[in-house]
Structure 1
Amino acid sequence: MESALKDKYSIVGIGETDYTRGSGRSTRALAIEAIRNAVTDAGLKMQDIDGMLSYHGGDSVNSSTLAYDMGAQLNFYMDCSGGGSSTEALIGLAIGAIEAGMCETVAIFRSMNGYSQVRIGGTGSRASTPVSGPGLMTRPYGLASAVQSFAFSFTRHMMEYGVTSEDLARVKVAHSNHASNNPKALMKQRVTVDDVVNSRWIVRPCAHLLDCCLETDNATCIIVTSAERAKDLKQQPVYIRAVQGRGTKPGGDFHYQHGPISRVAGHYVGPRIFDLADLSHDDIDVTGCYDAFTYTVVLQFEAYGFCEEGEGKDYIKSGIVNLGDKRPNNTSGGHLCEAYTHGMNMVIENTRQLRGMVDDYCPDWQNGNHTYDYSEGGCRQVRNVNTTMNMGWASPATGSALILRR
């Protein structure tokens, strides 16, 4: 099932706003800044963008509005309803649109005031919206946030495999160590296992406060075009080796009626992405694993086959996910420590890793010179990165994956 499109398309531009809590700006203004930064990064002009894709949960701005601000004439655009795992999927849709001849260069953006306006959890403006659809089965009973709804899958997993709060805390510790070398990160301080397990409970037995991601105001952008065109642009091309998703478990939202409730979508997405890329796990140098909560990381490493079922806690404990070890994960700090972006920042980070241009505290990182000193306030560039993988999560039932190479 090797893909005929592997390495035919590239990520050529990446951009983001500051990650804040209280931007004081509209999602329209944030989106334009992120797109402009990505266009500048690629060495393009706004008018070179003729395709746009975005995803939202009723909390963002439309592509057609931004086209006016950009002075662009779009040959293709689509604003999709979606959250986690949409980043990888929309990169695949961008490839499809270009392959079909509908456009040449696609800007994918996500813009959200996820702290100051529409919060993902059960508080803020979203909590006051009328209850309808599937929400009729959950919200009247107090089930209003992602950390609650996902917890059923992982609570079962904890029971079956003896996972403890301390095991989960090690995910946060690793990501906080990486974020301490990231000037952009919202949470730069390193934490300990004790810090995590002593933070207040959010959902027993699987989520303390520090097991949860950061609500964030931000916008992010990724630009995709053909590998042929990428050769003439500003940055070293990052080739899209394979993309898969959004894919689901059998049964979709009612997946718990089909197979183990603790099995997540990566179990089905994983074999396909490796087949499409014609690669194995040993070929992956850096991972970006969707860390809405520490437990989503454990579940996905198992589901995608980086370790056996029940061994995710041991995979983390081994230190393999740390900077300086075999396969670092979420080197920017991810959603737990850098910012919550619905997955965009982890694809942006892996693109920087492949370029050798991670924006850390190294004095000359802009020229690709790094110290590889991973102590606090130092470097986060991984040596000799050739291939990265992103694992996107929407829910236990839905996921996506992306493999990039230099």
Structure 2
Amino acid sequence: MGTAVREKTAIVGIGATEFSQNCGRSELRMALEAILDAVEDAGIKVEDIDGMVNYTLDTADQIEVVRSLGIPNLSFFNKVPYGGGASCGTIAQAVAAIEAGLATTVVCYRSIRDASGPVTYGDFEPTRVAGDTYMGMYHPYGLLTPVAWVAMFAQRYIHKYGVKDGQFAPVSLVNRENANRNPNAIFHNRTLSLEEYNNSPINVAPLRRHDCCLSTDGAVAIIVTTADRARHLKQKPAYISGVAQGMSTNGEVMTSYTREDIATLPEVEEYGKKLFEMARITPKDINVAQFYDAFSPLVPLQLEALGFVGRGEGVDYIEGGHRIRRDGELPINTSGGLMSEGYIHGMNLIAEGVRQVRGTSTTQIDDVEYSLVTGGLGVPSSGLILRRG
């Protein structure tokens, strides 16, 4: 996809369940609720949906969603792998399908019970070592979880650029400030001080508890259709100016330690070039950003990879939090992000990106024209630029 598809499609509906740590129902049930909420938001009918994209990790199977909602027919359906890297990738698949004439109205969704779901081996699954060659290189040394995997990248970044203890704190603090204004955020009623951040326990060095995202139950659905149709629907369209995916060579799933430089995000650098080229803008034109914030060091790394600052300058940019707060140069994660709103593998960041161009966020930025959203890091990833309708 290139500039030929720029703003030919738009997001017209967003829907979600509540975000909690004990939802009391199945992932399928939550997916249905979120999709119906998005349908209502868009002002369309369930019968209008003819395309569907979700994550390979979803247990809410497409065929059961179609059966439960009574969707008459899907002419396009697909799934995107790599966890949070799939978030904006679902939108890319929807855009491609609509532009190819394979569908007219596509729903993208993610439903997850990360907090209350059944206990499984998860990342410890012994058979995964046999299936993923690289896992056999790291599990024996205790690198068993995402926080451990990302901690390795963070340590290298700290060493290479002389980052001092506590310099990632502004990401956590700004996210929490934004969540405190968002009644739907898990941490809406819980503030975070620098003292509490500094005193929080180390999960895996150098990452503290408050450097890490939440475990969350919830679902989010996004509806994409043609720009022509979007102009006649209920909501102000969020035009898709740019959307791209990136998978770089010599990569693994969160353990790409054999690359020449593990203090960078090559997938993000590559999709970022295509993203801004498609939208015909530069990073300076972005008014607000929803950065995938599974762990706080990933925000300065993304600032560098996407060209907002030079390499090694991301931590200086976030210092004090002034530039990334709601009245700063580049406000970020205005709903609270994955660290303080909820962790729905990035789909909630897309919903917040839409709210910003609609003008309906609980931390609304003035006069937003372009809103950036990014997908999961350390895996094949994706990004999205939305323009005000």
Shorter-chain TM-score: which interval?
over 0.9
Q: 1:257 offset after TM fit, Å? A: 3.3
In structure 2, how many angstroms separate the alpha carbons of the residues matched to 1:390 and 1:325? 18
Residue 338 of structure 1: which of 321, 338, 341 is its match? 341
In structure 2, how many angstroms separate the alpha carbons of the residues matched to 1:157 and 1:143? 18
Contact 1:389 1:404 in 2 (8 A): yes
Q: What is the match of residue 314 of structure 1?
A: 316
Q: State the secondary structure of the residue aligned to 1:324.
A: coil
Query: Residue 297 and residue 344 in structure 1: after superposition, are their counterparts in 2 closer, same or farther (change >3 A)?
Result: same
Query: Which amino acid counterpart does residue 250 of structure 2 have in structure 1?
Result: G
Does 1:400 pair with 2:382? yes
Query: Which amino acid counterpart does residue 6 of structure 1 have in structure 2?
Result: R
Q: 1:78 offset after TM fit, Å? A: 1.8
Contact 1:177 1:333 in 2 (8 A): yes
Q: What is the match of residue 65 of structure 1?
A: 64
Taking the TM superposition and a 5 Å limit, the aligned residue runs for 1:145-164 are 145-164=145-164
Taking the TM superposition and a 5 Å limit, the aligned residue runs for 1:133-144 are 133-134=131-132, 135-144=135-144
Contact 1:84 1:342 in 2 (8 A): yes
Q: State the secondary structure of the residue aligned to 1:393.
A: coil
Contact 2:5 2:99 in 1 (8 A): no
In structure 2, how many angstroms separate the alpha carbons of the residues matched to 1:2 and 1:67? 31
In structure 1, how many angstroms separate the alpha carbons of the residues matched to 2:60 and 2:353? 26
Which of 82-91 and 231-240 deviates more?
82-91
Q: State the secondary structure of the residue aligned to 1:166.
A: coil
Q: 1:128 offset after TM fit, Å? A: 6.4
Query: Residue 81 and residue 258 in structure 1: after superposition, are their counterparts in 2 closer, same or farther (change >3 A)?
Result: closer
In structure 1, how many angstroms separate the alpha carbons of the residues matched to 2:165 and 2:195? 10
Structure 2, unmatched stretches of 5+, are none
Contact 1:286 1:328 in 2 (8 A): yes
Q: What is the match of residue 185 of structure 1?
A: 185
Q: What is the match of residue 220 of structure 1?
A: 220
Q: 1:139 offset after TM fit, Å? A: 2.6
Q: 1:56 offset after TM fit, Å? A: 3.6
Q: What is the match of residue 166 of structure 1?
A: 166
Q: 1:127 offset after TM fit, Å? A: 5.8
In structure 1, how many angstroms separate the alpha carbons of the residues matched to 2:308 and 2:295? 19
Q: What is the match of residue 369 of structure 2?
A: 386
Measured against aligned partners, the alpha-carbon deviations of 1:199-244 in whole angstroms (never above 9, x if no partner) come to 1111112x00111000000000000000001111100111000111
Measured against aligned partners, the alpha-carbon deviations of 1:319-352 in whole angstroms (never above 9, x if no partner) come to 1110122220000000010000111111100100
Which of 252-261 and 72-81 deviates more?
252-261
Q: State the secondary structure of the residue aligned to 2:375.
A: strand
Q: 1:125 offset after TM fit, Å? A: 4.4
Does 1:357 pair with 2:360? yes
Measured against aligned partners, the alpha-carbon deviations of 1:47-70 in whole angstroms (never above 9, x if no partner) come to 11111110042x521111100111
In structure 1, how many angstroms separate the alpha carbons of the residues matched to 2:338 and 2:166? 19
Structure 1, unmatched stretches of 5+, are 361-379
Q: What is the match of residue 371 of structure 1?
A: none
Query: Which amino acid counterpart does residue 277 of structure 2 have in structure 1?
Result: D
In structure 2, how many angstroms separate the alpha carbons of the residues matched to 1:208 and 1:28? 33
Residue 270 of structure 1: which of 269, 272, 290 is its match? 272
Does 1:28 pair with 2:18? no
Which of 247-256 and 349-358 deviates more?
247-256
Query: Which amino acid counterpart does residue 317 of structure 1 have in structure 2?
Result: E
Measured against aligned partners, the alpha-carbon deviations of 1:237-261 in whole angstroms (never above 9, x if no partner) come to 110001110x123312274434311
In structure 1, how many angstroms separate the alpha carbons of the residues matched to 2:105 and 2:316? 42
Query: Residue 255 and residue 126 in structure 1: after superposition, are their counterparts in 2 closer, same or farther (change >3 A)?
Result: closer
Q: 1:2 offset after TM fit, Å? A: 5.5
Query: Which amino acid counterpart does residue 201 of structure 1 have in structure 2?
Result: I
In structure 2, how many angstroms separate the alpha carbons of the residues matched to 1:352 and 1:172? 22
Which of 172-181 and 129-138 deviates more?
129-138
In structure 2, how many angstroms separate the alpha carbons of the residues matched to 1:269 and 1:78? 21
Which of 145-154 and 43-52 deviates more?
145-154
Contact 1:23 1:218 in 2 (8 A): yes
Contact 1:21 1:216 in 2 (8 A): yes
Contact 1:56 1:110 in 2 (8 A): no
Give the TM-score of the pair, scaled to structure 2: 0.93
Does 1:38 pair with 2:21? no
Does 1:242 pair with 2:242? yes
Q: What is the match of residue 11 of structure 2?
A: 11
In structure 1, how many angstroms separate the alpha carbons of the residues matched to 2:214 and 2:174? 16
Q: 1:136 offset after TM fit, Å? A: 2.7
Q: 1:163 offset after TM fit, Å? A: 1.4
Q: State the secondary structure of the residue aligned to 1:153.
A: helix
Which of 290-299 and 148-157 deviates more?
148-157
Q: 1:130 offset after TM fit, Å? A: 3.2
Query: Which amino acid counterpart does residue 11 of structure 2 have in structure 1?
Result: I
In structure 2, how many angstroms separate the alpha carbons of the residues matched to 1:193 and 1:160? 25
Contact 1:92 1:243 in 2 (8 A): yes
Q: What is the match of residue 126 of structure 1?
A: 122
Contact 1:63 1:78 in 2 (8 A): no
Contact 2:82 2:380 in 1 (8 A): no
RMSD of the TM alignment (CA)?
1.7
Q: What is the match of residue 94 of structure 2?
A: 94
Contact 1:63 1:79 in 2 (8 A): no
Measured against aligned partners, the alpha-carbon deviations of 1:290-322 in whole angstroms (never above 9, x if no partner) come to 000101112111111111111111111151110
* Identical-residue share of aligned pairs (%): 38
Contact 2:92 2:244 in 1 (8 A): yes
